[in-house]
Amino acid sequence: MEKLIITVAPTGSLPQKKHTPHVPITPREIIATAVRCQAAGAAIIHVHVRNLQDESASTDFRLFEEVVQGLRVETDLIIQISTGGRAGMSYEERCERLRLIPEMASLTTGSVNFPNSVYANSPELIEKLAADMLRYGIKPEMEIFDLSMIQNALNLVEKNLVQPPLHFDFVMGLKGAIPATAENLMHMKNTIPPGSTWSAAGIGPAQLPINTMAILMGGHARVGLEDNIYYRKGELAANEQLVERMVRLGRELGRETAGPEEARRILRLK
Ligand code: ZN
């Protein structure tokens, strides 16, 4: 089996300091977390930024720029910018950050009901973001919250908006999206085209079991406070602790960790 690529998603849109002191909010905190996570074994960082006044999800280009510049100076991590957005954010707000030309960006290929909101990704929005990524040479990570989103990703290939081989991330266990079961993970893995690469992310208590199943099935693992703030029940985690646990688990299960350069080769990044 290939070496294990560990993605860290340290910030996301939701957890705040009042939930856990370990969530990095400011650009400086995000960069410092990234340095620790690379030392721990992460190869990819999935980037969100926050407004500094109230810790809410931000679309501010200058914040993305500050984080990306810092990551490029202080780490060798593969930078994957999220193109996700909260309700009401426009295409313009969600695509501007791609001008920073990260090696990867996330692309959610469908809409899904979050517990209290609609995560809306219209066909037009998805195609425009895919076209931008193609033009900039950014590899999309298809964020798959449900089976139909795999089909939507394949439709983008048919429209020449994405070049294979594709890379998928299965996001499982979110209320409103696909439940985090072994059967569902197996089915999604078997649905993507041969030659694709994939990782899996579990939300909350699903993080550890889903990551473990992914390691066993030849996939890669995404950890981090975006998806889960606990190390175990009742005990908050720091991002690097979650990365370290993946490294240990991978080693026990016969998967050495891929560094950023090896991850670039496995993912066929240019
Ligand atoms: Zn994200």
pTM: 0.97
Provide the CATH topology of domain 6-267. TIM Barrel (3.20.20)
Distances (CA, A) of 81 to 115, 212, 258: 24, 25, 20
> Per-residue pLDDT averaged across 141-148, rounded?
97
Protein residues within 5 Å, CB atom, of ion ligand 1: 82
pLDDT at 116 over 80: yes
What pLDDT is recorded for position 112? 94
Whether residue 117 is predicted with pLDDT greater than 90 in this model: the reply is no
Element (H, E) at 231: strand 230-232
CA of 46 to the centre of ligand 1 (A): 6
What three-state secondary structure class fits 125? helix
What separation in Å is there between the alpha carbon of 268 and the centre of ligand 1?
Answer: 22
Q: How many Cβ atoms are within 10 Å of 213's Cβ, its own excluded?
A: 21
* pLDDT above 90 for 97: yes
Q: Tell whether the model's pLDDT for residue 87 goes beyond 70.
A: no
Q: Which two tokens stand for residue 231?
A: 């190390």
Dist. CA 104 → ligand 1 center (Å): 12
Token duo for residue 59: 């679309």
Q: How many A from CA of 226 to the centre of ligand 1?
A: 7
List the single range of 9-13, 74-78, 87-91 with lowest mean pLDDT.
87-91
Distance 84 CA to ligand 1 centre (A): 6
Compute, in angstroms, the gap from residue 201 CA to the centroid of ligand 1.
11
Examine the pLDDT at 219 and tell me if it is beyond 80.
yes
Residue 198 sits at the vertex; the CA angle it makes with 192 and 202, to the nearest 5 degrees, is 110
Domain boundaries along the sequence of the chain: 6-267
Q: What pLDDT does 129 receive? A: 97
Q: Taking all residues of the chain, what is their mean pLDDT, rounded to a whole number? A: 96
Model confidence at 108, pLDDT cuts 50, 70, 90, reads very high
pLDDT at 50: 97
Spatial neighbors of 235 by CB under 8 A, at least 6 apart, are none
pLDDT for 31 equals: 98
* Model pLDDT for residues 149-194, shown as the tens digit of each residue: 999 999 999 999 999 999 999 999 999 999 999 999 999 999 999 9
Q: What percent of the chain has pLDDT over 90?
A: 94
Which residue in 15, 59, 8, 5 sits closest to 31, CA to CA?
A: 8
Query: Is the pLDDT score of 88 beyond 80?
Result: no
Q: Stretch 134-139: mean pLDDT, rounded?
A: 98
